[in-house]
Chain A
């Protein structure tokens, strides 16, 4: 019954979306408020309707209804309830349903806001939203239906939604279970964040398209969409960080990012989204580069759809996906159509979009920011070509050539370096026109402090110049931001005669976005510290040890104590857990428990490293193998990852910064 309700609600949502599209278009054409209102009501309804479908799917998952193919694929009896719930996005059909649901959520949210002010834009916003939603619903209904079930007749097992004549339902006794790699807290929150980040860009995109269609080239669309874009960007950032953290904690290869096509496909919209957020700044402050913000948000949204396509189509070999799915071509068609429409719109509206002001001086805040925009875009293009390289080379030279992580790193490293320099210069430069003299006055003190970034590594004996430069830049950005912070607080204090605490609070509140950005930059350089640590200074070793034997790496010595192999009945797995004691510089600092879990339902092992993490370095131990019967010897792979903890600390500072910037301030006149 639940399957029928779920599918029925899914179908009904499609009808509502199509109706909304038609009503909005008709109402817009005939200037009929009644029709537009009706479209709006249809749009409000899509989210609650699809929620029914989601609730039905969750019910099926929790009640172990294995007649439903999707439930049998991703769930099993032994899984705890919270994992059964998260199995909603553990497979293709369910993820798509979840995706549509979030999309509907954004749609309904826009439909609920006040419509009187932007009456000309909103019907078009509704149309763009609902067309996208309808596309995903069509995928969900006709290609990847999560509610299809198992049936059996004389000819064998059938898979369909409705009962075929003469067939009887069959109920598998248990399901295959969620991929054990996904049974990790990081993996439970990572997909929803990632999806929210992806889906959230629909709103700024639809406002951009609406303003193109209506020829409304003022800043209204930017004012509305900027906030939505910032939220989407926040979720996308969270998704990326959680994914990296999960890879570090679970995959057991001592790394966090592999330049895999699927990782890249969420990095690309993040890069262009970042470029957009910077371009918008110039748009607002100087009314320049307006066409850039328009193009960037459109490209970001196209990359989101393209990213979903990469993830879903199995076109490229990746760690994430190999569903050789037929929805690939449908997606490609949808992307092609979207590109066509947006390009045509841009061409016809281009002259109205262009800003009157042009860049006058490279050494100005806007000049430096636009360089950063170009760098972000450049990296995005490089990643885009890198992902497509096997396909392009196959088409042109009939030889599949792939580019691996070293290729991306060679390009990303200098671009990152350039961005760090800009992070030093841009925030201190004045809008419109800046002078070296003024800049020098603000820079010399932070510059002196930043030399610590070179002196300290030199002092501990580090001699690799690319790393030295990187450390220095990190220190420089940190110093600049701290000095700025103190300087502005002091100014405020002097002007308004306030205490330090008051002044600090006022400063933060007064200019949320600018201070949020400062925290974001501080977070980025802290993350850079972790990246430098692991890229330049990671060391590793391995060995097979008998109980009581030791292995040394960097300043650490690990001693293999014992191995426990036992069944964990409640989660249907067999656990092999090694106990390893760790000494640093001859002093015992604790025990680590690297382990390997073998899941019976899916027949797959998961290796979970034991990690001792400090701000100086991580000591990361992987249990590779052990002698089955005697349990006398076990093999370990060991990594020393200097500074990597700063990557995670920086990520939280970064997220905190975005939150400061997005947090709803007291109503401003513009809002």
Chain B
């Protein structure tokens, strides 16, 4: 309680300049870390439409990409001896607002799978088949485009919006090689 009257005390001495500079140096260091790490690790989040469009221009060569779409159940192909997984995804709009207008994510995914005119992308993956990989699941894939026009994923994230809601972790993230 000793400093109860503190606010009325005489002028407060200034913090020496060297500490302010020191503090700023630490902050600058952290900012530098953030910016410099960006180039190597940033991922572009694209829809299937965008991937298909940009792939033609060669814009995606060597880029780390994240793409999301609706899983077509009948295209899932898994060879358990070699752990080679492949499946195709169909374009789902990225805009949450648009998805809400179309009747929610489950409906948007269903529409995407049913519509033969949507752009599609074949996904390749090496590793264990994820538990939640099924028809009309939303897949979020991280990886890069191959010259063949297929997408080589090194991480698969899946959501099945019809089943659960809320905080429950209804996807499994898998890191393969």
Contacts and interface: CB of A to CB of B under 8 A. Distances in A.
Contacts of A311: 167
A633 B22 CA distance: 62
Contact of B4 (A218, A253, A379, A403): A218
Contacts of B131: 596, 604-607
A252 B128 CA distance: 10
- Name the residue among B40, B45, B127, B138 with the largest chain A CB count within 10 angstroms: B45
A320 B18 CA distance: 45
A214 to B, nearest CB: 13
A179 B170 contact: yes
Interface string B1-38: 11110110100111110110011001100100110011
B43 A253 contact: no
A411 B37 contact: yes
- Name the residue among B46, B99, B138, B169 with the largest chain A CB count within 10 angstroms: B169
A371 interface: yes
B128 A622 contact: yes
A406 interface: yes
A500 to B, nearest CB: 37
Interface residues of A, number: 86
B71 interface: no
Interface stretch (B115-123, B145-153, B155-163): B155-163
A400 B45 contact: yes
A637 B85 CA distance: 15
A287 interface: yes
A444 B6 CA distance: 41
Contacts of A406: 37, 40-41
B39 to A, nearest CB: 10
Contacts of B114: none
Nearest to B7: A352
B53 interface: no
Contacts of B170: 179, 181, 322
B68 interface: yes
B140 interface: yes
B165 interface: yes
Given A182-B168, A402-B45, 4 more contacts: A260-B173, A319-B173, A362-B18, A624-B128
B5 to A, nearest CB: 9
A419 B175 CA distance: 29
A181 B168 contact: yes
B38 A403 contact: yes
B129 A625 contact: yes
Nearest to B131: A605
Interface string A254-295: 010010101000000000000000000000000100000000
A626 to B, nearest CB: 8
A358 B15 contact: yes
Contacts of A400: 44-46, 94
- Name the residue among B27, B37, B175 with the largest chain A CB count within 10 angstroms: B37
Nearest to B165: A323
Contact of A324 (B4, B13, B40, B100): B100
A317 B167 contact: no
A317 B140 contact: yes
A402 B42 contact: yes
Contacts of A167: none
Interface of B: 1-4, 6-7, 9, 12-16, 18-19, 22-23, 26-27, 30, 33-34, 37-38, 40-46, 66, 68, 78, 80-81, 83, 94, 96, 99-100, 104-105, 127-129, 131-132, 138, 140, 142, 157, 159-161, 163-175, 177
Contact of B44 (A93, A401, A603): A401
A8 interface: no
Main secondary structure of the interface of A (DSSP, over half): mixed
Given A255-B175, A402-B66, A358 B165 contact: no
Given A91-B165, A324-B100, A356 B12 contact: yes
A171 B97 CA distance: 33
Contacts of B164: 73, 91, 176, 179
Interface in A429-451: none
B160 to A, nearest CB: 8
Contacts of B160: 604
A91 B4 CA distance: 48
Contacts of A352: 7
B13 A358 contact: yes
29 contacts: A92-B167, A182-B169, A253-B173, A258-B173, A287-B3, A319-B157, A322-B105, A322-B138, A322-B159, A322-B161, A324-B104, A351-B7, A358-B14, A381-B30, A382-B30, A390-B45, A407-B37, A407-B38, A410-B33, A411-B34, A414-B33, A544-B81, A605-B131, A607-B128, A607-B131, A625-B78, A635-B83, A637-B127, A637-B128
Given A91-B168, A253-B173, A355 B34 contact: no
A219 interface: yes
A359 B42 contact: no
Contact of A378 (B13, B26, B159): B26
